[in-house]
Structure 1
Amino acid sequence: MLNSVSLTGRLTKEPEVFRTANELDIVRFTLAVNRVFKNKTGQRETDFIECVIFGKRALTFAGSTTKGSLLGISGRLSNNHFENKQGEQVWRTAVVVDNFAWLESRATTESRRAGTLQATGTDDVMPVEEGTPPQVATDDLPF
């Protein structure tokens, strides 16, 4: 059996940092991930995926990302349940992040943090007409 998740998306808000009684750092965040297909009205739908990251990587993650940051993550799904204040059993599914990668420049992230760049989802993406392959200069190819 294999439990593996890979996602690319944008942070929906600032990461939340917590510390357990055992001094373990935890960061929770939500990643907005667009679906590859369009709905009946021609719009792409978005899934909002709860994620959690532990330890030193959690602090690195929280210190280097901000709302709107474009990220790639990999990890595993985790299902947990607990009893809420009303005595009801609540189930929570989240991605436990093992690795992450920044998919935009540090300057873009810093501009967003300073408030000079809005998180539109298309900050550094060139629009390409649907059905038309993007143009790539042969100088950009690694071979």
Structure 2
Amino acid sequence: MYNKAILIGRLTADPELKQTPNGVSVCSFSIACDRAFSGRNGERQTDFINIVTWRQQAEFVSKYFSKGRLIGIDGSIQTRNYEDKNGNKRTAVEVVADRAFFVDSKNSAQGSGSSYPSNPGNNFSRPAAPAEPASYSSGSFGDFSEIDGEDDLPF
């Protein structure tokens, strides 16, 4: 069996960090994910998906993400049954995140007042274009010769 969920969406509210009675960190939040297609009237449909993270991931999400931020989630879908305040049986469907990660650039997050941790692995700057070799810049059509016959070709 295989259960894998990979999502990218925007947080609908600030993440909520709590501690279990044993002192384990748990963070719950929801993200809004647009569907890949539009409805009949041309409007995009959005799904609101509940996410739960545990331990270090919970503390990471709570510290570096806030409402409106773009977030990537890698985890699995889980269901659980519970009883509400009125005694009705309910089922909750949520994604338990094994990993949460930044999707937008560091600069766009700083513009909104959020700050990412300084991590060389999160540098999203565009690499410099490679320099063009000198032999290509001064080449001409005369530098090439025509091949007689196709029998000598190695392929």
Pairwise CA RMSD: 1.8
Corresponding letter in the other structure for 2:106? R
Among 97, 109, 129, the alignment partner of 1:139 is 129
Deviation digits for residues 9-68 of structure 1 (CA, Å, limit 9, x no counterpart): 111110011111011111001010000001000111110000000001111111001111
Aligned ranges 1:6-21 → 2 under 5 Å: 6-21=6-21
Larger radius of gyration: 2
Q: Aligned equivalents of 1:110 and 1:31: distance in 2?
A: 20
Equivalent position SS for 1:26: strand
Alignment partner, residue 129 of structure 1: none
Aligned ranges 1:1-143 → 2 under 5 Å: 1-113=1-113, 139=129
Q: Tell me if structure 2 keeps the 8 A contact 1:13–1:29.
A: yes
Alignment partner, residue 130 of structure 1: none
- TM-score normalized by structure 2? 0.70
> C-alpha displacement at 1:106, in angstroms?
3.1
Structure 2: unaligned runs, 5 residues or longer: 115-127, 131-155
Corresponding letter in the other structure for 2:10? R
Q: Aligned equivalents of 2:108 and 2:91: distance in 1?
A: 36
- TM-score normalized by structure 1? 0.76
Runs of 4+ in 1 over 4 A off after TM superposition: none
Corresponding letter in the other structure for 1:139? A
Corresponding letter in the other structure for 1:18? K
Q: How many residues align?
A: 117
Q: Aligned equivalents of 1:66 and 1:98: distance in 2?
A: 19
Structure 1: unaligned runs, 5 residues or longer: 115-137
Equivalent position SS for 2:111: helix
> C-alpha displacement at 1:113, in angstroms?
3.7
Q: Aligned equivalents of 2:13 and 2:110: distance in 1?
A: 15
